[in-house]
Amino acid sequence: MTRVGIIGASGYSGAELLRILNRHRSVTVAKAFANSSAGKRVDEVYPLFLKQTELSFETYTPDSLDGIDVVFIALPSGEAMNLVPSIIDRGKRVIDLGGDFRLKEPFLYEKFYKREHTAREYLQASTYGLPELNKNDISKAQLVANPGCYPTSAILSLAPALAHKFVAPDGIVINSLSGVSGAGRNASLEISFVEVNESVRAYKVGVHQHIPEIKAALAKLTGEEVNLTFVPHLVPINRGIYTTTCAELLARSSEDDVRAVYESYYREGPFVRVLRNGIPEIKNVIGTNYCDIVVRIDRDNNRLIVISAIDNLVKGAAGQAVQNMNIMFGFPEQEGLTF
In 77-200, the DSSP E strands lie at: 93-96, 127-128, 143-145, 172-178
Contact 220, 226 (CB under 8 A): no
Contact 212, 110 (CB under 8 A): no
* 149 among known catalytic residues: yes
Enclosing H/E stretch for 5:
strand 2-7
Q: With CA atoms as reference, report the closest residue to 249 among 169, 174, 307, 303.
A: 303
* ∠ Cα 327 212 107 (to 5°): 105
Q: With CA atoms as reference, report the closest residue to 74 among 145, 11, 130, 149.
A: 11
CA distance 339 to 329: 21
CA distances from 182 to 53, 130, 311, 313 (A): 25, 18, 10, 7
Residue type, 189: L
Exposed/middle/buried for residue 67 (C-beta within 10 Å: 0-12, 13-18, 19+):
exposed
Contact 158, 306 (CB under 8 A): yes
Query: Under 8 Å CB-to-CB from 85, ≥6 apart: which residues?
Result: 119, 122
Alpha carbon 160 to its chain centroid, in Å, reads 19
Q: With CA atoms as reference, report the closest residue to 85 among 139, 57, 30, 123.
A: 123
Catalytic residue among 34, 74, 149, 274: 149
Enclosing H/E stretch for 297:
strand 291-298
Within 141-184, where are the H helices?
A: 149-163
Contact 36, 334 (CB under 8 A): no
Residues with a known catalytic role: 149
